[in-house]
Amino acid sequence: MKLGLAWGDVRKSHLNNAAPAFAICSARASLATAFERTLLVGQRKPMTKADVTILGAGPYGLSAAAHLRTVSGLDVRIFGKPMSFWQYNMPKGMFLRSGWDATHIADPARSLTLETYQAASGAHFSKPVPLECFVEYGQWYQRQSLADLDQRNISRVEKASSDFQITLSDGETLRSRRVVIAAGIRSFAWRPTEFENLESALASHACDHQSVSRFVGRQVLVIGSGQSALESAALLHESGAEVEVVGRAARINWLQGWASTTLHWKLGSVVRNLLYAPTDVGPAGISQLTARPDVLRKLPRGLQDKLRKRAVRPAGARWLVKRLETVPIRLGRQVISVTTVAGGRVKVGFDDGSDRTIDHVLLGTGYRVDISKYDFLSEELKNSISLHNGYPRLRAGLETSVDGLHILGAPAAWSFGPLMQFVSGTHYASRALLRSIAAKPAK
């Protein structure tokens, strides 16, 4: 399922409990980060060569490192700021749409769960999981399993004979037999061409904001009809902005409708477990297929594409309906013109002849995978990776056409299905990666 509480429960939690939970989670995260940075200054050791280097410390990178550390004698290094995209590129106040069981980050012992985190930290929250609490959970996961995480960024990855050469943000270099890219989706934020030339003061992507407080009292046009656009609009409205949503879709796909609710909760656990997998990706039946990437990828390519499109079509959590009841939503509209006007404002024209003049356009237009946008990859390495419309063609173990180079997360969706776009995909990806690396050394 894509949501948990009914709106009445969510609203009560949001008003009475969510703000304190956000504050507690945020405070914990700040203290932990400061302590972590102090501790790691004395922990770093000179590096010349590693067996595996992991780029990225979000759910996929953390889970991959934790699994690979179970291989005796394997030197695994991981770089990046833990949960940075979730902390800095999603507005505070958001909730995770996925269900509780689909929000655990996979670990080898299956012990670093949300429940374990709550018991250890004293944090109290329920579903839908508040973003701030998920960030702190991920940072707690890192402290429990990967205390030696190096928070420096990797600025360049290039092929060097049979190895890879890694250059860090401070200029230090090391060689690695394998590289695992778990760099997330920030590089793939999609901005429609009509808005490409607008300065950031007039148009921005939803991932450009850690908070929407700067828009208080301003007129904001939100473009899109999926979860990111709709939840951003709700947050803007609740913060005091004047908001309108415009989307190309003819209607909004609200999750957990009558049919889904019936299949989930009214026909018993046998029916629910038959039709829906705990990974929580896709509608009835399709959910079970997406939960099994090794089965899914054996289907005809055209069928795989149809199933992927259906499983992750733009949709909104039903707990947003009440929050948006006074926000104007115009559907079936296509943007045809964008111009700046006097007073530092922007005028947007639509294909029905209407237009809007507003202070800012917020693009809730999602992400389009294209690994050529990973600026840390050398041009030679990019050109060596076999691609399909920006997605890498991956083999078993999520390995690219370049031996020893693996890519996890959303870029793996074309090869292993839509599960790779969600936190619940860490369970499959980390174990598949572990099997592959443990079974054969890089050439």
For residue 126, tell me if it sits in a domain: yes
Same domain, 285 and 358: no
pLDDT of 42: 44
pLDDT of 261: 75
CATH of the domain at 43: 3.50.50.60
Same domain, 176 and 41: yes
Which residue segment(s) compose the domain that 306 sits in? 258-311
Using 50, 70 and 90 to split pLDDT, how confident is the model at 24? low
pLDDT of 308: 94
Number of domain units in the chain:
3
Taking only the tens place, the pLDDT of each residue in 377-410 is 999 999 999 999 999 999 999 999 999 999 999 9
Same domain, 320 and 218: yes
Mean residue pLDDT across the chain:
90
For residue 1, tell me if it sits in a domain: no
Same domain, 141 and 49: yes
**pLDDT surpasses 90 at 18:** no
Taking only the tens place, the pLDDT of each residue in 205-214 is 999 999 999 9
Same domain, 40 and 75: yes
Same domain, 60 and 112: yes
CA gap 289, 351 in Å, rounded: 39
Same domain, 277 and 343: no
Same domain, 134 and 212: no
Are 70 and 198 a contacting pair, CB within 8 Å? no
For residue 2, tell me if it sits in a domain: no
Same domain, 236 and 306: no
Taking only the tens place, the pLDDT of each residue in 139-190 is 999 999 999 999 999 999 999 988 999 999 999 999 999 999 999 999 999 9
pLDDT of 359: 98
Residue that terminates a domain, selected from 279, 311, 343: 311
Using 50, 70 and 90 to split pLDDT, how confident is the model at 8? very low
Same domain, 180 and 143: yes
Same domain, 107 and 243: no
Same domain, 73 and 131: yes
**pLDDT surpasses 50 at 231:** yes
